Amino acid sequence: MVLRRYRSLLKDEEKARDAMQDTFVRLLKGRDRLTGEAPSSLLYCIATNVCLNAMRSEKARPASAGDEMLEAIAGSDDVEAEGQARILAEGILEREEPSTRTMAVLHYVDGLTLEETAARVGLSVSGLRKRLGALKRRSKSYLGEGG
């Protein structure tokens, strides 16, 4: 699942394999604080966040449908996510939330409903809506719909 996620977002097999291993390294660094609940949601969110950071730092250009939105989310000025993204990259752990950008990808790009997204990032629907609303205001050109 993790490798497929990286393949889908990074479009580069070598980078995908490298990122996959890096994800587990980061996860294991924080293993003492892992809760053991919903490991797939956890890994999926970490992978998403790592991809967003890679796209942001390398200015990678995604190439398929829906990727313009992904690129916009990756490049959004998500100030609160900067700190959280770092935390997430070190292992999304108990009581730590995924970045809003990751939530936005799950909802806007992956197509999860608000309820499905909220369940996977540990927020209430209203809390998620609020976070996405703030991000949407900073990324009006691509995120004008939904939410």
Partner 1 sequence: MMSEQGGVPDLLLEQYALGELGAVEKARLDSLLESDPGLRARLAELKASDEEILAELPPAEIAASIRRRMLVAGEPGGPGKGRSGRGPRFLSARALAFPAAAAVLVVAGAMMVRGLFPTPSADRVLAKGGAPGLLVYRKTDSGAELLADGARAAAGDVLQIKYSGGSPRFGVIVSLDGRGRITWHLPSEYGDSAPAGPVSLAPRLESPGATLGSAYELDDAPSFERFFIFSSSDDFSLSVASKILGVLSRSPSPAEARPSLPDGIECKSFLLLKDGRPR
**Which among 18, 79, 83, 24 has a CA at the least distance from the CA of 54?**
18
Instruction: Burial-class residue 35 by CB neighbours within 10 Å (0-12, 13-18, 19+).
Output: exposed
Cβ of 49: how many Cβ atoms within 10 Å? 25
Q: Is 106 in the site for partner 1 (CB under 8 A)?
A: yes
Question: Is the CB of 80 or the CB of 110 nearer to partner 1?
Answer: 110
* Least distance in angstroms from the C-beta of 11 to partner 1: 12
Question: Is the CB of 119 or the CB of 125 nearer to partner 1?
Answer: 119
Question: Is the CB of 109 or the CB of 135 nearer to partner 1?
Answer: 109
Q: Is 111 in the site for partner 1 (CB under 8 A)?
A: yes
Site track for partner 1 across 45-84, x = CB under 8 A:
---------------------x------------------
Q: Is 116 in the site for partner 1 (CB under 8 A)?
A: yes
Question: Is the CB of 80 or the CB of 116 nearer to partner 1?
Answer: 116
Cα-trace Rg, the chain: 14
